[in-house]
Amino acid sequence: MAALSSTPSLGRLLAAVKNASLHSRWQAVSSSSARYSTVQDPQEKTFDKILIANRGEIACRVMKTCRMMGIQTVAVHSDVDASAVHVKMADEAVCVGPAPTSKSYLNMDAIMEAVRSTGAQAVHPGYGFLSENKEFARRLAADGVAFIGPDTHAIQAMGDKIESKLIAKAAKVNTIPGFDGVVETVEEAVKIAQDIGYPVMIKASAGGGGKGMRIAWNEEETREGFRFSTQEAASSFGDSRLLIEKFIDNPRHIEIQVLADKHGNALWLNERECSIQRRNQKVVEEAPSTFLDAATRRAMGEQAVQLAQAVQYSSAGTVEFLVDSSKNFYFLEMNTRLQVEHPITECITGLDLVQQMIRVAKGYPLLHKQEDIPINGWAIESRVYAEDPYKSFGLPSIGRLSQYQEPVNLSNVRVDSGIHEGSDISIYYDPMISKLVTYGSSRAEALAKMEDALDNYVIRGVTHNIPLLREIITHPRFVSGDITTNFLPEVYPDGFKGHQLTAGGQKELVASAAALHIAAQLRSQTFLGNQRVSNSSQERRRWDLCVELGKERHPVVVLRSGHTYTVEVGGDRLEVSGEWDLASPLLPLKINNTHRILQCLSRTATGEVCLQYLGTSFKVRVMSLLAAELSSFMPEKVPEDTSSILRSPMPGAVVAVSVKPGDTVAEGQEICVIEAMKMQNSMTAAKTGKVKSVHCKAGETVGEGDLLVELE
């Protein structure tokens, strides 16, 4: 396509935007929570209709920019996604198959037919699915449809980790030592690992997102890692090829956002710090990084641009690096698509990356020079997942969102989501609920905003990872910027246990539960604001109670004055005040002049209450002194002996069963493999014994807690 030049009017508009404050540039967006600027020249024509070959939050994100640019959108969906938010948001929607991704969102024939039937002129692939599939891009080009991403050459070159490493070396980009070829067999993998020296990283040649990646510290782990990585790579990307390279211990994962056009122009849009990970998948990201100085940032940015230009890259893309403690950096991979964490770059630069991708796909040159790219403020992204953070820092959870409320009422908070109250989180797709982004003029301000946003985020019906996210962003190591990719296992060596209450925090929680209990009692005694039955000339002002938290019991005295309760606990007096709107999912309180946002997750007439306090849910029981005395005579429930049984820790599909009744298994031996959200998990025996019965078989779907195998 011939080059398209910008009009004088656009130049004046961009000059005005560039010289405006960041706040005013945000206001160019119709939604004040978006935190990026879509400045559209009405004379600059792009496409009339774009099909988004994706689902969930990224499909909604692309549609928002298309709407601002006056472009009609087409959604594709599986049959179970027929009522999804992205389907309702689009101007048109086409069903492309049943729930499994291989039959719907990866069904290239069905998506190509949807493009033809709707007359879409371009396709935005989002991330994942077909976003880095060169065959999909080739077929679109053959039909005269624009692929909003790089061309097939760049996808091929950068999508293959083996080829991309060779190209990076030729482009004088720092690379990690390793074997520059495809590893064919497990025996070859063992030999290569021994030659490189442990530890090594085994990873899929195609794809990314932490799938098909394993770290091996010895021969046994190499053999196991080769098997699982091969299976995950084939399942996720349709390509089982693997490579092996040296694993850099205790690195930071820092990536550079690049943007390039079809005219040879390329920019680096600063970095994103992505070191907080679990199972090689990012959890919390921020921009900029606390670690980089200006010289290192520029060196990384320039090498990223060198790599992009080496493959004639055109679109938004991300070059990922590992950075050691001495600020030496090594090329990891290039993602030839819009990255999940792109919002934080939009926050600090003011650029709408989706709009830039659409402009580039149409053939327009970039409107900015490298010196135009700012770092304004600080942005942090927390990936909110339907996961149980107490199981391996996050195993998938499924269910229906019975109550859902995003904290978008707060300033400088952005939520990218594709769900609403009533949406189902299923086993078929990624368990991400949303990307929660906060912005501040400084890192401290952005962190404080994130803490507030997490406290105000209401998610009911599924288990979620907000407890983990809140603990991460308030941990002293994270606050100081002392992080690596090993942050989670180092900070929580025995696994995540939730917020650990201090003595002061324990008293705050006990006092809040006691005050809530009395407020609920008083509300139940009123009707239309009046007492149902007046049996006393004097309204009650004092209560003697017992609050049970964990295995401890706390005698408390509660005194009431209006909306304020004075609670005597453990020799201290705490004043707890609030509006006590018990119909609201949020419970804003002031405890001794400290503002807290609690959530009452459940409450019973018998005094049992579950409170979310500082991100973690705590079960508390509030009783009268008599009830507390009598409850001590109640028999305790004997916990189940889990050493002889194996239950599924998550919902998923059984990939393989390695044992049968009568087999003898050793402690730690693999019994079966469960796949959930394209990640394979090995289930092992808790003790040595003989298999009594097997309750699952390959191909079956299991739920969380389902019995898999019993031992004698």
Residues serving a catalytic function are: 337
Interhelix angle for 56-68 vs 353-362, to 10°?
A: 70
- Which of 315, 418, 313, 337 is CA-nearest to residue 128? 337
What is the spatial distance between Cα 286 and Cα 347, in angstroms, rounded to a whole number?
10
- Which of 217, 241, 246 is CA-nearest to residue 230? 241
Q: For the chain, percent helix, then strand, then coil, each to nearest 5?
A: 30, 30, 40
What are the residue ranges of helices labelled H in 559-650? 625-631
- Which of 415, 394, 529 is CA-nearest to residue 463? 394
What is the spatial distance between Cα 192 and Cα 200, in angstroms, rounded to a whole number?
9
Q: Per residue in 63-74, is it b (16+ CB within 10 Å) or e — as a string? A: bbbbbbbebbbb
Token couple for 286: 């921020």
What is the spatial distance between Cα 9 and Cα 19, in angstroms, rounded to a whole number?
16
Token couple for 350: 């003011």
- To the nearest 10°, the Cα dihedral for 184, 185, 188, 189? 90
List all residues 6 or more positions away from 553 whose beta carbon is below 8 Å from its beta carbon. Answer: 546, 547, 628
H or E element at residue 246: strand 242-246
- The answer to whether 464 and 384 are in contact (CB under 8 A) is yes
Backbone angles phi, psi at 96, to 5 degrees: -115, 15
Q: Identify any residues that bridge with 53 across adjacent strands, giving them in sequence order.
A: none
